Amino acid sequence: MLRNFAYRWILPFIDPRSLIAIIRLPRFFSEWRRYRRMGGGDARFADLWPCLTDRVGYTPFDPHYFFQAAWIARQLAAAKPTLHVDVGSSIAMLGVLSAQFPLVFVDYRPLKVRLDGLNTIAGDITRLPFADASIASLSSLHVIEHIGLGRYGDPIEPSGYVAALRELDRVLAPGGQLYLSTPVGRERVCFNAHRVFSPRTILNALPKLKVLRFALVDDSGRFQEPCDLPGADSLSYGCGMFVLTKT
């Protein structure tokens, strides 16, 4: 517990990887000199840009974001929506998805880009700019856990996630599908980073919706599909991915 507390309070201010990387500077300069001796005279001192943390044995990745992007891409490839609306998810993922079908992206902090197939608008997930029951294909991935904590400039509101879930429910069309992901496991609020939910808490806030499919990234970063909802309750910080529909 003390180790986790120190981790949470050190990382926002100091990146240990950058400090440790200082010991790699001698090798960096040795390799730079060798590069120049081999004819690389274009690598001038004034243009040096030390990247000292990338020499690792395996490609690093965030299991939550990697697997949820792969998961929704496969879900939408099977569903083939004529239009998809996303609220607040990873913009790198959405830029790729917008090549497959028209996509509307809503975010509290508006995304200012121009890209074919992608329409970006400003909006609050607790007050979405859409009519009731108007969206057949809707997603919000790794978003609801932040609502009401103020991290992204939104108002402080302890029940913000409930308002967000109800608003997603409001705009989802009958027969439509909502793709939702959030941290799952031991319930808690890690202010102001995020919340962690039991899957049952999510479903209790969405009584009109039915779970079609559930997938999970566990504490070890392993992807499980399909997975039973109770399988998430024993986790510390997993990622639950729901496909829900309104009957």
pLDDT in tens, 159-184: 999 999 999 999 999 999 999 999 99
Q: What is the pTM of this model?
A: 0.92
Give the start-end residues of each E strand in the chain: 84-87, 103-107, 118-122, 135-141, 172-184, 188-190, 194-196, 209-217, 223-224, 238-246
Q: Average pLDDT in the 57-61 region?
A: 95
Task: Give pLDDT tens digits for 16-45.
Answer: 777 888 999 999 999 999 999 999 999 999
Neighbours of 228 (CB within 10 A): 10
What are the boundaries of each domain within the chain? 2-47, 63-246
Q: Which of these CATH numbers, 3.40.50.150, 3.20.20.70, 3.40.50.1980, 3.30.565.10, describes 63-246? A: 3.40.50.150
Residue for token pair 């932040």: 146
- pLDDT recorded at residue 164: 98
Q: Measure Cα distances from 173 to 102, 139, 244 in Å.
A: 18, 13, 11
Give the start-end residues of each E strand in 113-162: 118-122, 135-141
Of residues 231 and 69, the one with the higher pLDDT is 69
As a whole number of angstroms, the distance between CA 138 and CA 238 comes to 22
Portion of the chain with pLDDT greater than 70, in percent: 98
